[in-house]
Chain A
Amino acid sequence: MATALEDVGSRAIAQLDYVGSLNIQLWSTLRAMKSALPVVGNRYRWQATVRQVLQIGYDALPMISLMALCAGFILALQGAAELRRFGALHYVIDLVAIAFTRELGPLLTATAVSGRSGSAFAAEIGTMKVTEELDSLRVMALEPIEFVLGPKYLAALISVPCLSIVCSSFGIIAGGLFMFFSARLSPFLYFRYVLESIALRDVITGMIKCLAFATIIVHVSCLEGFRVRGGPDSVGRSTTSAVVKSTFFVILADSIFTAFFYFTGGH
């Protein structure tokens, strides 16, 4: 009994410690991020940010576009199979357009980014920890939070929403292709319907989700890197847990956001 209580207690403390560290890391990054901004910040930090934007965003473009095309196509097909029975094939357009702007765009993007970049962040920072590079940054009076994390976070805040827009566009294009081939709906008409069905609110909620997901991915992955203790083997473990944890937290946060927007949005 006592050991069971101890077990629960120590786990709870570990969880609290984790959340606390995440929180501290987030606030110190926000405070340190000014230096990563262009013009007002430090030139080298901004250069690092641009490099990160290319890595997180630009390099992920082919993968995200392809994923979005496939997902859009799947969604249209599955939707059409059901909707056709009610003679409501045109609702496929609303389905694809709204699902992508509100939900699938941010979510697919977040999954791809956490798999591509989250693991890379954890590996990079974990390796720096193991090889004492983080310590040598500190003794040079450079804070790893400002030097390493700041540019990554800013870059993710820029790239994830952009990727999400690309993702949604390709998903919608896939829907258009489907409608063209199955119902001979002209692309012009299709895009008019799409624009009519998306409200500004959908776009905004999608963007809010993107910013939240970017925050989760960067901070969860980087914390995994900073928490590496010991040798290279722990770097490997940290990359795995960075992807697992950040994907989990992204989906958790998504359900909370979606519930919130549902109950406040008057749907």
Chain B
Amino acid sequence: MPIISIRGLVVEYEGRRILNDLNLDIEAGETLVLLGGSGSGKSTLLRQIVGLERPKRGSVTVKGVDITTCSLSELKKIRHSIGVAFQSAALFNSLTVEENVALPLREHTALAPSIIDLTVWMKLAVVGLAEFGKLHPQALSGGMKKRGAVARALSLDPEILVLDEPSAGLDPIVAAELDELILLLKQTFQMTVIVVTHKMASAFHIADRIAMLYQGSFSLVGTKDEIRASREPRVRQFLDRVPEELANPANVSAYFQRYLERKEAFL
């Protein structure tokens, strides 16, 4: 049975359709990489998977519970087994990095403080932030905040790890380390990982399957080889890094022409 299954998911913001009738099954222990252009709805989909928003239609079932209709207490129980790192990191600014990572442990476990300290140190060491635990998030760089968020997402050793562009803003070395970490988590803890990334090399390195979002629907969901072999124009455009028509000089001058005409009409 899939650990997460999405059926007929429709999400609208202010009447604008963001996700259009999505269906997706994610098996326990697999790493799914979510690709898609900026604004294609990847973060929106992740927010649905962790139950932050109710969809307009459709269902999201996590570990056998439909989180779009279940009670808050059921949802909370499910959330104990999900670790999330937001695109904006969203560390608590009033707490130090250590306290951020310790927060879920303090709140949801009965571990002794010394054990919590040790666990926190290990999680921070894993993302290379061990020396920075005493700092507040304001004192960290963008990439360090991202890593702090990953450490916090890992703090309860979740079954499902959801990472929204964890490697954006990281240098290639740290980004590669993060990839290795994801592979390690999968191998040793059979963690189910859902990652949004824009880095193709990293996607193909860590993914079991890749799902590509385009205009609110999946243009393709498949293994790495299926994606590589795909003839789907959208997928090819993404993989071969073909710029959108807009960047073509002829189109730009056409846009400019139209802009000038409009401006004349106003004058």
Contact = CB atoms under 8 A, between A and B. Distances in A.
Given A44-B107, A131-B88, A132-B88, A139 B93 contact: no
Given A131-B93, A132-B88, A132-B90, A139 B82 contact: yes
Interface string A133-154: 1011011111100000000000
A115 to B, nearest CB: 22
A128 B95 CA distance: 12
Interface of A: 42, 44, 127-128, 131-133, 135-136, 138-143
B108 A141 contact: yes
B8 interface: no
Interface in B24-63: 47, 50-52
Contacts of B86: 132, 135-136
A142 B82 CA distance: 13
B106 A44 contact: yes
B145 to A, nearest CB: 11
Interface string B90-108: 1111000000000110111
Contacts of A131: 88, 90, 93
B79 A135 contact: no
B84 interface: yes
B17 interface: no
A128 B91 CA distance: 10
B199 interface: no
Contacts of A133: 90-93
When A and B form their complex, which 5 residue pairs have the shortest distance between CB atoms, in order from nearest? A132-B90, A141-B76, A141-B79, A136-B90, A139-B84
Select the residue from B52, B77, B80, B106 with max chain A CB neighbours within 10 A.
Answer: B52
Nearest to A130: B88
A135 B90 contact: yes
Contacts of A143: 72
Select the residue from B88, B108, B152 with max chain A CB neighbours within 10 A.
Answer: B88
Interface residues of B, number: 23
Contact of B52 (A42, A128, A139, A141): A139
Contact of A142 (B51, B77, B107): B107
Nearest to A43: B106
A132 B51 CA distance: 14
Contacts of B93: 127, 131, 133
B84 A136 contact: yes
B79 A140 contact: yes
B74 to A, nearest CB: 11
Contacts of A132: 86, 88, 90
A135 B107 contact: no
Interface string B142-169: 0000000000100000000000000000
Contacts of B51: 139
Contacts of A139: 50-52, 79, 82, 84
Given A44-B107, A133-B93, 8 more contacts: A44-B106, A135-B47, A136-B92, A138-B52, A139-B52, A139-B79, A140-B104, A142-B103
A122 to B, nearest CB: 16
Contacts of B107: 42, 44, 140-142
B52 A135 contact: yes
A131 B89 CA distance: 9
A42 B110 CA distance: 12
7 contacts: A133-B92, A135-B86, A136-B92, A138-B52, A139-B84, A141-B77, A143-B72
Contacts of B82: 139
A92 to B, nearest CB: 47
A42 to B, nearest CB: 8
A136 B85 CA distance: 8
B94 to A, nearest CB: 8
A114 to B, nearest CB: 22
Nearest to A51: B94
B251 to A, nearest CB: 32
A228 to B, nearest CB: 15
Nearest to A136: B90
A127 B79 CA distance: 24
A49 to B, nearest CB: 15
A133 B104 CA distance: 14
A62 B103 CA distance: 34
Interface in B183-213: none
A128 B94 CA distance: 10
Contacts of B76: 141
Contacts of A140: 79, 103-104, 107-108
A151 to B, nearest CB: 12
A128 B52 CA distance: 15
Contacts of A42: 107
A139 B72 CA distance: 12
Contacts of A138: 52, 79
Contacts of B104: 140
A42 B50 CA distance: 25
